[in-house]
Chain A
């Protein structure tokens, strides 16, 4: 009970803290003076940053506390870990960390260009996952079709047997 109260308090305090920071930045820019248009652009930038960071922080908090369940992040329905999901996870983090490293290390931070080979690498990984899912679903569909055909066959045989029994009974009664 107290743990859920703590979680609820944290979820309430993060947006409030971010709002206070945004108002603080706005006041600093207002009293600093200068070109109002430029100040407005800077304020919009700070508000966008604060919003995205708050969303990220809340998501991270929910992941860390288990509110967002990650148990089956790399697992299939049967509980076995999937190699293609694991690979996609690794490549996603490697590319994300590389981008962040370059943005932070640059003297004038800006988003780096992404070469085609990197997109191909991520695309290969994602398509492996998709094809792997396709193979799995195809096999499940084949199994379901085979089972339905076997059931139909068994029903047909039972109906034939019933008809033969009825015919035999009718012939016996006639004699």
Chain B
């Protein structure tokens, strides 16, 4: 039974790593398009957006912090908890992103005369 459990773990590991590698490879080769990831479109015109940049940075920081926490202590019975500060940071960053998106989407509509 232990062999079955270990095999299940290794198969799951292989599949998750396989999916991650395929997606990373497709991102690096440009098959998965990241075109305009850091751009905001204002009335059809694209420009680089600091709001998206902060969103990306906070996402990468939170993801990296979590991976390091899981890597440091992998033998516990539970996933490492996410600190409240990190949750607040991610939520704040998302709120800024959504606020910016709502503004850039609706302001041109409000400005346009009927």
Interface residues of A (CB under 8 A from B): 42, 45-46, 49, 52-53, 56-57, 60, 63-64, 66, 70-75, 78-81, 83-84, 86-87, 89-91, 93-110, 112-115, 117-118, 120-121, 124-125, 128, 131-132, 135-136, 138-139, 142-143, 146, 149-150
Contact of B66 among A75, A98, A104, A135 (CB under 8 A): A98
Contact (Cβ within 8 A) A135 B19: no
Counting residue pairs across A and B whose Cβ atoms lie within 8 Å, the total is 193
Would A89 and B1 count as touching, CB distance under 8 A?
no
Closest chain B residue, CB of each to CB of A99:
B79
Whether the pair A109, B6 counts as a contact (CB closer than 8 A) is: yes
The answer to whether the Cβ of B37 comes within 8 Å of any Cβ in the partner chain is: yes
Against A, the Cβ 8 Å flags (1 = close, 0 = not) of B26-49 are 100001111111010100001000
Q: Closest A-chain residue to B8, C-beta based?
A: A49
In the complex, chain B residues whose CB is within 8 Å of the CB of A45: 1, 4, 8
Indicate with 1 or 0, residue by residue over B72-91, a CB within 8 angstroms of chain A CB atoms.
00111111111110010011
Closest chain A residue, CB of each to CB of B11: A53
Residues of B participating in the A interface, judged by any CB pair closer than 8 Å: 1-2, 4-13, 15-20, 22-23, 26, 31-37, 39, 41, 46, 52, 55-56, 59-60, 62-63, 66-67, 70-71, 74-84, 87, 90-91, 94, 97-98, 101-102, 105-106, 109, 112, 114
**A49 close to B87 (CB less than 8 A):** no
Binding site secondary structure of chain A: helix
Determine if B90 and A86 form an interchain contact, defined as CB atoms under 8 angstroms apart: no
User: B59, B90, B105: which contacts A139 (Cβ < 8 A)?
Assistant: B105
16 extra A-B contacts, CB within 8 A, seeds A78-B41, A101-B13:
A70-B31, A80-B36, A81-B37, A83-B56, A83-B97, A90-B59, A97-B20, A103-B8, A105-B74, A109-B5, A110-B5, A114-B79, A124-B91, A138-B105, A139-B106, A146-B112
Chain B residues, Cβ within 8 Å of A131: 98
Once A81-B34, A86-B37 are accepted as A-B contacts, the answer to whether A128 and B62 lie under 8 Å apart by CB is: no
Chain A residues, Cβ within 8 Å of B67: 94, 97-98
Knowing A42-B4, A132-B101, A143-B109, the reply to whether A95 touches B114 (Cβ < 8 A) is: no
A144 to B83, CA, bound (A): 44
Please name all residues of chain B whose beta carbon is closer than 8 Å to the beta carbon of A94 when the two chains form the complex.
63, 66-67
